[in-house]
């Protein structure tokens, strides 16, 4: 593999039902700064059927948009997505490709990396360029977030990484930007003979998808029982927030597994994380410690959760949370 043949930064955008997803703009933000450091073009691949508003991708920082257009790409299937992306990479030869660490990105990227025999680093929190080597530096938490590792892919291309959604802001809109939109048709090679998408079912217990949420209110064993846990849900409702939970709370059956945050659940980094009745075991911290702002409410002043918190209230959740809800409601009504 001649690494010099590969040039440019590509991000793998995401669409849901033909609408560009916000995570695409986050990727463009990261991609733009890498491309500028390298002095190369930034492109964005969008896989889907009909996709609205591809021009927005240009305004948010892409120089080129490749829309691989097919009804076989309307919903995510690993086979067609992998074949489309491998074909696009072989045609356009980007030196770097970045995707979101969503269920789609975390599935298609390893498949593509294995097909191309190149390296992939999952869940990066920081990306940079080594100016001397002109190489991508990929930093990610390892071992439950207790250690950070910086990783590179020196000998193969493209250099591939996924980044956690919500770990950066969306690229700002610049109306003066121009760029090129190319539609790629790959025809029958995208038809899957071995996979069939049946249906998507929204999970009603998950009104706000927690990994997409700006604010998460999360509860642990300190809430005592299912009734107590409802406090967390009520505070979340007032804040328009997602509901999170510790492993203990999930195992006690207070809420479903899809809300579990931590090593064996989801990793989140919202703007605000409110931990209620959570002691702060390392396993839980691993899933939330990159949150922008962390507020902890716990009656034990020595609880470990306070070490990662920006703001801590030592007190009984059953008194603090209702007061907080009242104060927030008053704020809303301007009273």
Would you say 144 is a known binding-site residue? no
Residue count, binding to other proteins (CB under 8 A) = 93
Looking only at residues 23 through 62 of this chain, which bind other proteins when binding is defined by CB under 8 A? none
Among positions 120-179, residues that touch other proteins (CB under 8 A) are: 120-123, 137, 141-156
Residues whose CB is less than 8 angstroms from the CB of residue 84 and which lie 6 or more positions away in sequence, other chains included: 47, 68, 70, 73, 184, 186, 190
| 103: its two tokens | 């269920």
* Contact code string over 90-109 relative to other proteins, x by CB under 8 A: ------------xxx-xx-x
User: Residues 48-56: contacts with CB within 8 Å, 24+ apart?
Assistant: 48/15, 48/18, 48/73, 48/74, 49/18, 49/73, 49/74, 50/18, 51/15, 51/18, 51/19, 51/20, 52/18, 52/19, 52/20, 53/19, 53/20, 54/20, 54/181, 55/181, 56/20, 56/173
Tell me the two tokens of residue 222: 């300190």
Out of 176, 178, 185, 194, name the contact with other proteins by CB under 8 A: 194
Q: Say whether 305 counts as a known binding-site residue.
A: no
Q: Cβ 221 to other proteins, closest distance in Å?
A: 18
Structure tokens given for 238: 């007032």
Q: Which of 132, 195, 227, 302 binds other proteins (CB under 8 A)?
A: 195
- DSSP run (H or E) holding 312: strand 311-314
Residue 187 in marked binding region: no
Report, in Å, the least distance between residue 179 CB and other proteins: 28
218 binds other proteins, rule: CB under 8 A: no
Q: Do residues 80 and 7 lie in contact, with contact meaning Cβ atoms separated by under 8 Å? A: no
Write down the least CB distance from residue 176 to other proteins, Å: 27
CB of 152 to other proteins, least distance (A): 5
Is 260 annotated in some ligand binding site? yes
Scan residues 254-293 and list those touching other proteins (CB under 8 A).
Answer: 256-258, 260, 263-265, 271-272, 282-283, 285, 289, 293
What mask, x for binding other proteins by CB under 8 A, covers residues 174 to 193?
-------------------x
Kindly state whether residue 200 participates in binding other proteins, applying the rule CB under 8 A: yes
We find the least distance from the C-beta atom of residue 198 to other proteins, in angstroms, to be: 4
Confirm or deny that 263 is annotated as ligand binding: yes
| Residue 192 among known ligand-binding residues | no
Task: Answer whether 27's CB lies under 8 Å from 98's CB.
Answer: yes
Instruction: Return the sign of the alpha-carbon dihedral for residues 226, 232, 233, 234.
Output: positive
Residue 87 labeled ligand binder: no
Among 172, 173, 311, 329, binds other proteins (CB under 8 A): 311
Is 220 in contact with 248 (CB distance < 8 Å)? yes
* Contacting range for other proteins; rule: CB under 8 A; set: 5-13, 30-38, 54-62, 116-124: 116-124
**Contact with other proteins (CB under 8 A): which of 3, 111, 181, 252?**
111
Rounded Cα distance, 284 and 298, in Å? 15
Would the annotation count 22 as a binding residue? no
Phi-psi region of 168 (alpha: psi -120 to 50; beta: other; left: phi over 0): beta
**H or E segment to which residue 20 belongs:** strand 19-20
- Helix (H) / strand (E) containing 235: helix 226-239
**Rounded Cα gap, residues 254 and 193, in angstroms:** 41
Nearer to other proteins, 183 or 328 (CB): 328
By beta-carbon proximity to other proteins, the closer residue of 104 and 269 is 104
33 annotated as a binding-site residue: no
Q: Which residues are annotated as a binding site for FAD?
A: 246-247, 260-264, 277-284, 298
């Amino acid at each position: 593999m001649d690494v010099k043949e590969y040039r440019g930064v590509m991000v793998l955008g995401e669409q849901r039902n033909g609408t560009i997803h916000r995570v695409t703009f986050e990727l463009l933000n990261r991609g733009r700064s890498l491309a500028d450091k390298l002095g190369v073009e930034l492109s964005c691949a969008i896989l889907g059927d009909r996709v609205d508003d591809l021009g927005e991708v240009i305004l948010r920082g892409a120089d080129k948009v490749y829309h691989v257009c097919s009804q076989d790409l309307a919903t995510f299937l690993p086979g067609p997505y992998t074949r489309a992306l491998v074909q696009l990479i072989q045609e356009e030869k980007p030196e770097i490709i970045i995707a979101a660490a969503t269920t789609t990105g975390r599935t298609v990227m390893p498949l593509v990396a294995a097909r191309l025999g190149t390296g992939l680093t999952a869940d990066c929190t920081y990306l940079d360029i080594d100016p001397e080597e002109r190489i991508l530096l990929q930093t990610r938490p390892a071992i439950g977030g207790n250690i950070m590792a910086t990783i590179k892919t020196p000998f193969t291309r493209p250099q591939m990484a996924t980044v956690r959604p919500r770990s950066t802001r969306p690229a700002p809109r610049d109306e003066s930007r121009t760029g090129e939109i190319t539609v790629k048709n790959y025809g029958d090679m995208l038809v899957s003979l071995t996979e069939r998408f049946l249906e998507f079912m929204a999970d009603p217990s998950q009104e706000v998808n927690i990994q997409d949420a700006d604010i998460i209110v999360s509860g642990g064993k300190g809430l005592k029982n299912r009734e107590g846990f409802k406090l967390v849900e009520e505070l979340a409702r007032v804040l328009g927030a997602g509901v999170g939970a510790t492993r203990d709370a999930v195992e006690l059956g207070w809420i479903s597994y899809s809300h579990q945050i931590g090593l064996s659940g989801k990793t989140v980094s919202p703007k605000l994380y409110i931990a209620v009745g959570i002691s702060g075991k390392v396993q839980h911290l691993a899933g939330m410690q990159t949150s922008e702002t962390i507020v902890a409410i716990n009656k034990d002043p020595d609880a470990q959760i306070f070490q990662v918190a920006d703001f801590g209230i030592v007190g009984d959740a059953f008194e603090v949370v209702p007061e907080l809800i009242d104060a927030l409601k008053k704020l809303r009504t301007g009273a």
